[in-house]
C-alpha cells in the first residue's frame, strides 16, 4: 500500500504537505480546519513581539491572465486563469500572549499533526537576539513541534527584519545560532529569493545549526498599473510599496533556487514552496530533493485552508506510488526524493552538436584568423 508518511528533521508527518505561514494560518479556527481537512502540517502565521498594524484595505489579491492578449491583471475576466497572488500583508498582528494558549489548544486537539511556529524578531543587537529566544521558548513550551525562522518577508515595516536578515549571511548565521541555543525542537530557516545566490544564505543558516531550509517566500514585486485609471490596481491613497508575488508565476524560479541549494547540500533537509496546487508541482520539488512542500495561494482560493487542494495532493501521491510500486519499488517519498537533482548542470555541460568545434563561446584564438581560413595573397 502507498505510504504517505515522511520523517523530516526528526518529525513524523502523516503526509508531506503543509500549509505555509501566510493568511490561511492566521487563526486558531483556520489551523483547526486545516488539520480537519487533512494537511500533514501547518506553519503558523509569523509570530513576533513588536506591534504590527497592516495597511488600510485589501492586503492580498490575485492576478489573472487571459490567452487572447496575455494581459496580467487583478480584474476578474471571463476565461482568465490564475497567474499569481500578490500581497503586502505583514506578520501576525496578534501578540505572543494571544498565540500561546491557542498553540496549546491546537496541539491538544490534533496531537498527531505537526504544528510549526513561524517566528520573527529584529537583528543587529543582543536585545533582538534575546527576543528570538523568547519567542522560541514560548512556542516550543506550548506545543510547537518545530520553529520556522522568518528571514524572508519582503515587505516588513522595520528595516532590521524579514528579508533584510535573509539577505545578510552574517545575520542568518547569528540569529539561527541564537535560536538553536534554546531550541528543544527542530529549527527551519525560511529564506528570501531576493538575494544574489541563496546558496550563500543557506550555508550560513546551516553553519548556525539550522535543521532545514524552507524556500522560499514570495518574490518582491509591484502590482500592475491600470491602463485606464493610471492607478496601481491595489493601493492606499494612490501609493504602493513592494509586495510579495506568489502562486503559479513563481514556480520555475522557485524550482531553480531549490535545485541550486539541494545540489550544494545534498545531505541536508529542504521544504519547498512556490506554485504548488496539485501533485504534479509538488513532485518536481520532491524529485529535486525536498522532503516536504508547503502551499499558500492555492489554499487561499479554496475555502482559505485548501480542503480540496489537500485531497488532490494526497490522491496524487497515492496514485504516483501505486503506479511506480511494481516497476520501481517506490512505496514512499523517500524512495524517489532527489533522483532528478543531478540532471541540473551548468549550461556549459549541455551537449553541443560537435564538441570539437565549440570553444565555450569564444573564438579558438581570439583576435586571429581561424586555422581553417586561408590568408589573402599580397603578391598581386
**R_g of the chain, CA atoms, integer Å:** 23
Q: Which helix (H) or strand (E) holds 322?
A: helix 307-328
- Coil/strand/helix, residue 8: strand
Degrees, nearest 5: CA angle 167-211-106: 100
Distance CA 227, CA 233 (A): 10
Cα–Cα distances in angstroms (integers) from residue 326 to residues 55, 194, 235, 314, 321, in the given order: 54, 43, 55, 20, 9
153 is catalytic: yes
Strand pairing class (219-221; 243-246): antiparallel
Q: Which helix (H) or strand (E) holds 84?
A: strand 81-87
Catalytic hit among 153, 189, 290, 296: 153
Q: What grid cell was written down for 351?
A: 551537449
Distance of CA 62 to the CA centre of its chain: 18
Query: 84 forms bridges with which residues in the sheet?
Result: 63
Q: What grid cell was written down for 20?
A: 505555509
For the beta carbon of residue 148, count every other beta carbon within 10 angstroms. 28
Whether 45 and 127 have beta carbons less than 8 Å apart is answered as no
Strand pairing class (243-246; 81-87): antiparallel
Residues acting as catalytic residues: 153
Amino acid at each position: 500500500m502507498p505510504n504517505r508518511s515522511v520523517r523530516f528533521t526528526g518529525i513524523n508527518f502523516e503526509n508531506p504537505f503543509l500549509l505555509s505561514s501566510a493568511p490561511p494560518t492566521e487563526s486558531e479556527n483556520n489551523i483547526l480546519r486545516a488539520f480537519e481537512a487533512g494537511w500533514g502540517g501547518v506553519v503558523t502565521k509569523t509570530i513576533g513581539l513588536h506591534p504590527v498594524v497592516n495597511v488600510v484595505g485589501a492586503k492580498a489579491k490575485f492576478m489573472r491572465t487571459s490567452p487572447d492578449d496575455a494581459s496580467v491583471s487583478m480584474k476578474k475576466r471571463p476565461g482568465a486563469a490564475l497567474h499569481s497572488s500578490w500581497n503586502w500583508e505583514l506578520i501576525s498582528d496578534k501578540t505572543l500572549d494571544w498565540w500561546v494558549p491557542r498553540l496549546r489548544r491546537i496541539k491538544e486537539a490534533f496531537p498527531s499533526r505537526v504544528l510549526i511556529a513561524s517566528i520573527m524578531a529584529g537583528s543587529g543587537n543582543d536585545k533582538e537576539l534575546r527576543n528570538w529566544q523568547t519567542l522560541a521558548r514560548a512556542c516550543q513550551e506550548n506545543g510547537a513541534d518545530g520553529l520556522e525562522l522568518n528571514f524572508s518577508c519582503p515587505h516588513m515595516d522595520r528595516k532590521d527584519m524579514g528579508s533584510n536578515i535573509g539577505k545578510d549571511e552574517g545575520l542568518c548565521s547569528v540569529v539561527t545560532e541564537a535560536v538553536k541555543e534554546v531550541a528543544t525542537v527542530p529549527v527551519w530557516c525560511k529564506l528570501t529569493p531576493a538575494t544574489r545566490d541563496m546558496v550563500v544564505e543557506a550555508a550560513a543558516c546551516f553553519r548556525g545549526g539550522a535543521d532545514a531550509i524552507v524556500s522560499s517566500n514570495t518574490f518582491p514585486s509591484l502590482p500592475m498599473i491600470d491602463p485606464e485609471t493610471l492607478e496601481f490596481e491595489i493601493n492606499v491613497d494612490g501609493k504602493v510599496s513592494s509586495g510579495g508575488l506568489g502562486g503559479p508565476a513563481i514556480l520555475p524560479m522557485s524550482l531553480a533556487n531549490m535545485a541550486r541549494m539541494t545540489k550544494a547540500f545534498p545531505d541536508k533537509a529542504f521544504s519547498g514552496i512556490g506554485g504548488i496546487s496539485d501533485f504534479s508541482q509538488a513532485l518536481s520539488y520532491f524529485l529535486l530533493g525536498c522532503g516536504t512542500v508547503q502551499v499558500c495561494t492555492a489554499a487561499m482560493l479554496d475555502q482559505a485552508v485548501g480542503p480540496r487542494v489537500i485531497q488532490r495532493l494526497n490522491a496524487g501521491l497515492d496514485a504516483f506510488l501505486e503506479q511506480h510500486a511494481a516497476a520501481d519499488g517506490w512505496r514512499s517519498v523517500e524512495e524517489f526524493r532527489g533522483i532528478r537533482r543531478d540532471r541540473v548542470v551548468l549550461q556549459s555541460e549541455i551537449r553541443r552538436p560537435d564538441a570539437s568545434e565549440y570553444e565555450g563561446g569564444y573564438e579558438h584564438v581570439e583576435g586571429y584568423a581561424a586555422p581553417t581560413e586561408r590568408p589573402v595573397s599580397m603578391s598581386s
